[in-house]
Structure 1
Amino acid sequence: MMTRPLREWAADDPALRDPTAFREKVAMGGEPVLIRGYAQSWPLLQAAQISDRTVCDYLRRHDSGKRPQVMLGDPAIEGRYFYRDGLDGLNFERIEMSIDDALDRMLAHAEDPALPSAYLGSLVTPAYLPGLVDAHPCALAPPGVAMRLWIGNASHVACHYDAYENFACVLAGRRRFTLYPPDAIGDLYVGPIDFTLAGQPVSMAAADRDHPQRYPRFARAEARKLVVELEPGDALYLPKLWWHQVEALSPFNIMANFWWDAFAIGPDAPMLAMLLAMITLGERPEADRKAFRAYFDHFVFRPDGHPLAHLPPEKRGVLRDLAGGGYGQIRAMIMRTLRGQ
């Protein structure tokens, strides 16, 4: 396990009061940050401190009536939502139901673990619980970034990454995060990218501790992991592409999170570029891939700085200012090519 602790920031630090300051002072560091007590004043947390039923009643009062999908797990899986053996399906069901019914199932399982567990993930608050939005502000997220809620019984969410910055606040129960840096991907044994549990691929090795011989490189990832436990009110910032396994440790749990790309200069996601690179480069001969890697390094990853630094700025064409006119020009070139024009 990594011995260096997570960086910690005080909940009242000025860097947490403004999206620009947060991007420059925290997100630019590219490492997870722990903020103890960040959400202590949020009404959801205060209701949860009274009782599970109190916070469920609080949620019900703000229910818009929309019916989300709920994950239901047999008691035998012990809250470990994952694939069935052989990757021939999932070991849980997704069922559309009202938030009211979902909360009833969670409270019932909390009292009787012999009943199925329930998990309500990525609940977009403005759509499903609109009355909560103004009462739970997150000043470090840009305007328009929606709070999402993750509500359920004790659970074990498989190790995965997000393609966005992730700011997560624990509001009820405790959660344990096990973190791996992005460059551990080769040691985590990634599962299918098009048949996933909830959107992003997961680590097969982190979920299968009974067969270490299947994943010999996983020990290298384990040697680099970070583990942190969050109490109600604590928050964790995770930069994009950091792998994280999330365990909800209490019979009933609530977490809020906010996703956004702190460094986007346009609407296109970096993952789209990677998917296109997979189909255009992934199966080429090694010599071809090596040649294109040099070009990607030069034009995209830029270890030696701007690829046209030897030219006067006014002579760099579309690469003069990608955040300005260059972005739209290159995007138009790509769209014309994809349309076959």
Structure 2
Amino acid sequence: MTGAIPEIAGADLHGAEQFRREVVDPCRPLVIRGLVDHWPAVQAGLASPRAFADYLAPFDAGGQMEAFVGPPRIAGKYYYDDALKGFNFERRRMTLGAALDAIVASLGVADAPSVYAGSLPVDDFLPGFSVRNAMPLLGPTIGPRIWLGHASNVSSHYDTLDNLACVVAGTRRFTLYSPELIDGLYVGPIDHTMAGQPISLAASSPPDDAKYPKFAAVRDQALSAQLQPGDALYLPKLWWHQVEATAPFNGLINYWWDAFSAGPDQPYTSLLLAMIAISERPEAERRGWRALFDYYVFRPHGHPLAHLPDDSHGLLGPLKPDNYGRIRARIMHLLRGG
């Protein structure tokens, strides 16, 4: 049995500072009901799929993109083939307008293929849309992306950025798993994926699949929510999420950003470097490096040099204004073989 994702009313949020303090800083998923129900795009979607397509048409810059096209038998569940070598859909180049027309035209048509267009930068494909459908909770440098399609099931995966996902047409069901549950999710390949991120094979399989025995306990710890047009979900980075578009026609606008970045470097870069530097060393040595990572990076017991005066912390002092650049310069020197 899944639990419910906590929720608040969008009307209770008044600006970016409160959003950061009360929603983002706790790093917990939160449904924000009615956050964007005033958007013209949402109002058009409530009228009909054709009205939504007509609303987007004046913004359409005619850009080419890649759409997923799936045969009727997959029922919108874009996934691997049976051998996990290929996929059960094809990728087609087309314009956003052509994809949207194909989606709308085939609604209610028996045995029609499903179409899915995702992660399109709005300011490139629909210039002017974000001005008319503004997001005041985020800074102007955080651009929106649009996702459109028939009913679909996107396998459980994580993102390395924070996410604010806003339903503009149709309905969506989100099923979430905490990052700490990764061992029971049976993760697929990291370099052979549908759209960039690895997925949970267990969460995408039938219940009680014998290949994934540890998933039974994980399933009971899932959180879920059904979002209506105008609702939004704040999703912290690294939370696993399965996204089901549950109406015949669906649209979503999302925003990705790193809420806690101290500079240009991403934590995922550190993970990949640690894979090649540490992962195949002897177990006893890995335990030693794990202890150092806990002490210096994850800091479960506080700052590693709390027993020394602040002016003795050196590189372990605050990252800003100087230590970020000093540490980064040392890393780059070492990577160059210095």
> TM-score band (shorter)?
over 0.9
Could you tell me which amino acid in structure 2 is paired with residue 70 of structure 1? A
User: Aligned residue for 1:303?
Assistant: 300
User: Aligned residue for 2:6?
Assistant: 7
Could you tell me which amino acid in structure 2 is paired with residue 92 of structure 1? F
The Cα offsets for residues 8-31 of structure 1, whole Å up to 9 and x where unpaired, read as 2221224x511x432222122121
- Give the superposition deviation at 1:285: 1.1
Question: How many residues of Structure 1 are paired with residues of Structure 2 in the alignment?
Answer: 338
User: Aligned residue for 2:321?
Assistant: 324
Within 2, Cα distance between the matches of 1:88 and 1:201? 14
User: Aligned residue for 1:118?
Assistant: 115
Alignment of 1:1-341 (within 5 A): 1-3=1-3, 5-14=4-13, 17-18=15-16, 20-209=17-206, 212-341=209-338
Secondary structure in 2 matching 1:87: coil
The Cα offsets for residues 275-318 of structure 1, whole Å up to 9 and x where unpaired, read as 11111111111101100010000000011111111222122112
Within 2, Cα distance between the matches of 1:38 and 1:88? 41
Could you tell me which amino acid in structure 1 is paired with residue 116 of structure 2? Y
- Give the superposition deviation at 1:247: 0.5
Q: TM-score with structure 1 length normalisation?
A: 0.96
Within 2, Cα distance between the matches of 1:61 and 1:114? 31
Secondary structure in 2 matching 1:213: coil
Within 1, Cα distance between the matches of 2:335 and 2:295? 24
Secondary structure in 2 matching 1:26: helix
Cα RMSD over matched residues? Answer: 1.2
The Cα offsets for residues 201-241 of structure 1, whole Å up to 9 and x where unpaired, read as 00001111166100000011101011210111111111111
Secondary structure in 1 matching 2:203: helix
Structure 1: gaps (5+ residues): none
Tell me, yes or no, if the aligned pair for 1:173 and 1:249 is still in contact at 8 Å. yes
Secondary structure in 2 matching 1:68: strand
- Give the superposition deviation at 1:114: 1.1
Q: TM-score with structure 2 length normalisation?
A: 0.97
Runs of 4+ in 1 over 3 A off after TM superposition: none
Tell me, yes or no, if the aligned pair for 2:67 and 2:94 is still in contact at 8 Å. yes
The Cα offsets for residues 256-287 of structure 1, whole Å up to 9 and x where unpaired, read as 11011111111111011011111111111110
Tell me, yes or no, if the aligned pair for 2:208 and 2:216 is still in contact at 8 Å. no
Within 2, Cα distance between the matches of 1:264 and 1:60? 36
Structure 2: gaps (5+ residues): none
Q: Percent identity?
A: 49
